[in-house]
C-alpha cells in the first residue's frame, strides 16, 4: 500500500482562525449494572448524549475495551461502539456538538476497525448533521462508505459530499485490512456560496502527522454529488447502520474540532526511548507542538496489558521539549512502559510502548527479532561517545542514536523502516560489533 499502508481521506478547504473543540467522545461510560454489548442509547450508558433518530431494532452496541492506536488521543480509553449493516429496522444515532458551525472547516477524527466487509455495493456508516437529538432533520453531509475490497479480508473506503447515489461515491483504489485499526480524519468545509462545500478524508494505519497534509488522497469530486445543496450548519455527528450490505465495524475515540491540531493530535511525541543504567530504566522522551498540555503520567506493566502509574512529569508547553524519568526495575524479565499525555481539558492519549528486560550487557543482543516498532538492544556498557546505528543491506546508514553513558541496554524506534533485513551496529570506545535483525 502507498506510504506503508498509510492512506488518507480529507476534506479540502479553509481553516477558521480560532480553533474550537466541539466534541470529545471516548465512550468511557461506567459498566456498573450494564450488560456487555448493550445499546449505546440506553440511558444507563450513553443515552444522555447519544439519541436515536432512526430505526427501532438492532441497536448500536457499546462494550469494553475500545480500540487502541499509538499516538492518538483517546486510544485505549473507555469502550467503543459497534455497528452493522443488514436487514431490519436498524438504529441510527447522533450526538450533539458543543456549538453549531456555519462557516469554515470542521474536522472529525475517530478510530475505525471494520470487522466485516460492506458487500459489493457498499453503504455509508457515519456523517455530519445540521441538527441533533431525536429529530435532527435529514440534512446529512460528509458521508463515509465502505464495501468489499479487491481481495479476501479487505475493504475499500469511499465518500460523498451528500449524495447516496452509487455513482456519486468516490472509492479508494487501495484496499484496507479487515480487523486492523485505522485513524480516520474527516474534514468538511462550509463555504458561503451555493453548492460549493468541500469534503475529503485521511485514513492512517500508523502515526499522526503534526500538521494537516497538503494534499488529500481522496476527495468528493463527482459533479452530481457536488451539486447537492450545501449544509446550513454542522451541529451533530452520527453513526448509521444501513439496510444494504453485510458490513460491520467498531468506532472509538471521536474528536470533532475546527482545527487539525485540536482534533487528531494535541501534542506530538517525537521520540520515546529507554536505557538500562545500573538496574534502572532511564526513560527519555522528546515532544513538539505542546499546547495546553498538563503533563505526562509514566505507566509501568509487567505483562504488557495491565499498567500502573509510577510517576508524573509536568509539561513545559514550549515548541520543543525533552524529558527524563528513572525507574528502578522490579523484575529481571520484561518491563513495559508507556506515557499517558493529559491535556488541561482532561483529554488524554497514550504513547507507544517500550520495553526493558534488565539483561546484563555482556554482548550485543537484540529483542524482539523480527521487530515491528521498537528494538531492544543489549550491549556492553556504553561510554560517552557510544552509538547504535541501523544499516541496510547496501551499507547505507539509516538511523544513528547516541547512547547514554553507562547504559547496558537501549531501545531504538524502527517503526518507520520498511520491511526487510538490517544490521544493528554498536560502536563503543573504538570497538565495533554488529548483528542482524528483520523488520516486519
262 within a domain of the structure (yes/no): no
Cell of 146: 465502505
Is 263 domain-assigned?
A: no
Phi, psi of 179 (to 5 degrees): 95, -5
Q: Residue 419: how many CB atoms within 10 A of its CB?
A: 10
Residues 6+ apart with CB under 8 A from 111: 66, 67, 68, 69, 72, 74, 75, 80, 181, 182, 183, 184, 250, 251, 252, 253
Within this chain, do residues 294 and 433 fall inside the same structural domain, yes or no? no
Do 369 and 351 share a domain, yes or no? Answer: no
Residue 434: in which H helix or E strand, if any?
strand 431-439
- Cα–Cα distance for residue pair 105/92, rounded to 1 Å: 25
Task: Kindly report the CATH number assigned to the domain that includes residue 424.
Answer: 2.60.40.3080
Asked if residue 143 is part of any domain, the answer here is yes
Gap between the Cα atoms of 343 and 267, Å rounded: 9
Show Cβ contacts of residue 328 under 8 Å, excluding neighbours closer than 6 positions.
279, 280
DSSP 194-242: TT--EEEEEEESS---SS--SS-S-B---HHHHTSPPPS-EEEEEE---
Give yes or no: residues 58 and 204 share one domain: yes
End of a domain among 306, 323, 356? 356
- CATH number, position 316: 2.60.40.10
Domain extent at residue 316 = 268-356
Parallel, antiparallel or unpaired: strands 170-171 and 374-378: unpaired
Residue 104: inside a domain, yes or no?
Answer: yes
371 and 352 co-located in one domain: no
Residue 225 to residues 168, 191, 197, 218, 280: CA-CA distances in angstroms?
5, 16, 11, 14, 60
Q: Are residues 293 and 226 both part of a single domain?
A: no
> Taking the mean position of all CA atoms in its chain, how far away is CA 132?
26
Q: Cell for 213?
A: 497534509
Q: Using an 8 Å Cβ cutoff, are 55 and 89 in contact?
A: yes
Shared domain for 175 and 321, answered yes or no, is no
Domain end: 337, 356, 375, which one? 356
Q: How many domains does the chain have?
A: 3
Q: Does 229 share its domain with 286?
A: no
Whole-Å CA distances, 412 to 62, 89, 90, 303, 390:
37, 51, 48, 21, 9
- Whether residues 352 and 370 share a domain: the answer is no
Instruction: Indicate whether 206 and 287 sit together in one domain.
Output: no
Helix or strand (DSSP H, E) at 3: helix 2-5
* CATH code for the domain of 161: 2.60.120
Q: Which three cell numbers stand for residue 228?
A: 447537492
Name the grid cell of 168.
Answer: 456519486
| DSSP state letter for 382 | P
**pLDDT, one tens digit for every residue, the chain (440 residues):** 333 323 332 233 223 234 567 888 989 887 666 666 788 998 878 888 999 999 988 999 998 889 988 767 778 778 899 999 988 889 999 999 999 999 999 999 999 999 998 889 899 999 999 999 999 999 999 999 999 999 999 999 999 999 999 999 999 999 999 999 999 999 999 998 878 899 999 999 987 776 788 888 899 999 999 999 999 999 999 999 998 777 999 999 999 988 886 666 556 677 788 888 877 888 999 887 676 688 999 999 888 788 999 999 999 877 678 999 999 877 667 788 999 988 776 767 788 788 887 665 567 888 888 888 888 888 888 888 889 999 887 788 899 988 888 888 888 888 888 888 998 988 887 778 888 899 98
Statement to judge: residues 116 and 194 lie in one domain: yes
Is-contact 300 336, C-beta < 8 A?
Answer: yes
Lookup: cell for 84: 452493522
Does residue 23 fall inside a structural domain?
yes
Asked if the structure places residue 391 within a domain, the reply is yes
Do 223 and 132 fall within a single domain?
A: yes
Q: Is 2 helix (H, G, I), strand (E, B) or coil?
A: helix
Cell of 108: 472529525
Domain boundary at 356, 373, 397, which? 356
Q: pTM (2 decimals)?
A: 0.62
Looking at the structure, do residues 183 and 234 belong to the same domain, yes or no? yes
Residue of 259, 266, 270, 172 lying closest to 212 (CA atoms)? 259
Amino acid at each position: 500500500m502507498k506510504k506503508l499502508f498509510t492512506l488518507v481521506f480529507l476534506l479540502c478547504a479553509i481553516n477558521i482562525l480560532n480553533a474550537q473543540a466541539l466534541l470529545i467522545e471516548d465512550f468511557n461510560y461506567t459498566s456498573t449494572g450494564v450488560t456487555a454489548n448493550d445499546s449505546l442509547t440506553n440511558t444507563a450508558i450513553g443515552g444522555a448524549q447519544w439519541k436515536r433518530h432512526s430505526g427501532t431494532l438492532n441497536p448500536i452496541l457499546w462494550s469494553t475495551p475500545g480500540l487502541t492506536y499509538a499516538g492518538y488521543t483517546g486510544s485505549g480509553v473507555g469502550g467503543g461502539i459497534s455497528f452493522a449493516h443488514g436487514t431490519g429496522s436498524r438504529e441510527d444515532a447522533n450526538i450533539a456538538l458543543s456549538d453549531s458551525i456555519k462557516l469554515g472547516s470542521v474536522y472529525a477524527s475517530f478510530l475505525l476497525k471494520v470487522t466485516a466487509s460492506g458487500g459489493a455495493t457498499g453503504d455509508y456508516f457515519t456523517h455530519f448533521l445540521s441538527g441533533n437529538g431525536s429529530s435532527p432533520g435529514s440534512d446529512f453531509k460528509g458521508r463515509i462508505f465502505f464495501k468489499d475490497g479487491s481481495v479476501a479480508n479487505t475493504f475499500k473506503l469511499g465518500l460523498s459530499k451528500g449524495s447516496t447515489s452509487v455513482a456519486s461515491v468516490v472509492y479508494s483504489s487501495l484496499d484496507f485490512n479487515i480487523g486492523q485499526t485505522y485513524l480516520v480524519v474527516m474534514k468538511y468545509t462550509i463555504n458561503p456560496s451555493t453548492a460549493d462545500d468541500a469534503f475529503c478524508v485521511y485514513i492512517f494505519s500508523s502515526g499522526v502527522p503534526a500538521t494537516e497534509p497538503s494534499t488529500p488522497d481522496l476527495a468528493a469530486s463527482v459533479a452530481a454529488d457536488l451539486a447537492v445543496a450545501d449544509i446550513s450548519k454542522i451541529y451533530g455527528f452520527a453513526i448509521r447502520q444501513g439496510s444494504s450490505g453485510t458490513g460491520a465495524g467498531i468506532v472509538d475515540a471521536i474528536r470533532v474540532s475546527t482545527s487539525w491540531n485540536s482534533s487528531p493530535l494535541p501534542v506530538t511525541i517525537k521520540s520515546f526511548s529507554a536505557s538500562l543504567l545500573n538496574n534502572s530504566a532511564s526513560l527519555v522522551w522528546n515532544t513538539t507542538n505542546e499546547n495546553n498540555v498538563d503533563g505526562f503520567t509514566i505507566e509501568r506493566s509487567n505483562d504488557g496489558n495491565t499498567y500502573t502509574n509510577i510517576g508524573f512529569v509536568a509539561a513545559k508547553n514550549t515548541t520543543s521539549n525533552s524529558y527524563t524519568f528513572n525507574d528502578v526495575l522490579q523484575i529481571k524479565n520484561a518491563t513495559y512502559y508507556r506515557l499517558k499525555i493529559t491535556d488541561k481539558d482532561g483529554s488524554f492519549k497514550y504513547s507507544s510502548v517500550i520495553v526493558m528486560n534488565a539483561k546484563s550487557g555482556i554482548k550485543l543482543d537484540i529483542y524482539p527479532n523480527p521487530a515491528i516498532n521498537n528494538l531492544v538492544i543489549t550491549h556492553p556498557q556504553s561510554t560517552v561517545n557510544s552509538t547504535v546505528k541501523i544499516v541496510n543491506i547496501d551499507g547505507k546508514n539509516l538511523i544513528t542514536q547516541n547512547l547514554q553513558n553507562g547504559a547496558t541496554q537501549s531501545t531504538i524506534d524502527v517503526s518507520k523502516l520498511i520491511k526487510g533485513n538490517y544490521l544493528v551496529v554498536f560502536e563503543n570506545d573504538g570497538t565495533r560489533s554488529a548483528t542482524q535483525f528483520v523488520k516486519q
